[in-house]
Amino acid sequence: MILILAWNFCLFFETDWQVWLESKKRSLGGRAFDHVSDCPIVIHSTAGYIGTTDDLIRWAGQKYGMEDPRKHQAYEEVQTQLLQLASAEFAEQLRKTTNKYAMMEFSIPNIFAPSATSTHRMIFELYYEKCPKTVDNFLALCTGEKGISSTSGVRLHYSN
């Protein structure tokens, strides 16, 4: 048996995702409106709302007799191999480039559960060869190494 899945991937900022998700819930109604997970929302072209990826795996098991691939040892091995491959490729990219990198962590409140926040991390690739002074200034703001402004007395940093 061949099961063909069509995936629609949309890239959103977190706030755009929340707006899109709310509008999709309203258009689907019913169980979709109760979808509160941050997991992807799964919609079948004829069956309609299915739920999260876990719900999709259960649905495919009931409808097509498919097994959850995460139960197999090979799944963990493939996940480990993919992580190792991605790490090696990223390390190689870091070795090949003269660019520098900066990381920023930030929290976004969850509009569905105001007491909950989710922490996110962004990695910036800074093009040192094209604008070295700008990169150095940005990194100095990230680390706070420039101390305090002599004119305003304000700390020169991006941290809390």
**What's the rounded Cα separation, in Å, for the pair 138 and 55?**
44
Three-state secondary structure call for residue 21: helix
> Are residues 132 and 116 in contact, defined by beta-carbon separation less than 8 angstroms?
no
Q: Name which residue leads in pLDDT, 101 or 42.
A: 101
| Confidence check: pLDDT of 3 > 50 | no
Those residues whose C-beta lies under 8 Å from the C-beta of residue 109, and which sit 6 or more positions away, are: 116, 117
**What's the rounded Cα separation, in Å, for the pair 138 and 59?**
49
- C-alpha R_g of the chain: 22
**What's the rounded Cα separation, in Å, for the pair 155 and 65?**
61
Three-state secondary structure call for residue 109: strand
Q: In which band, very low, low, confident or very high, does the pLDDT at 122 lie, cut at 50, 70 and 90?
A: confident
Cβ-based burial of 35 (10 A; exposed 0-12, middle 13-18, buried ≥19): buried
What pLDDT does residue 31 have? 66
Q: What is the tens place of the pLDDT at every residue in 48-72?
A: 778 888 888 888 899 989 888 888 8
Q: Name which residue leads in pLDDT, 61 or 24.
A: 61
Name the most confidently modeled range: 31-35, 42-46, 52-56: 52-56
Diameter over CA atoms, the chain: 72
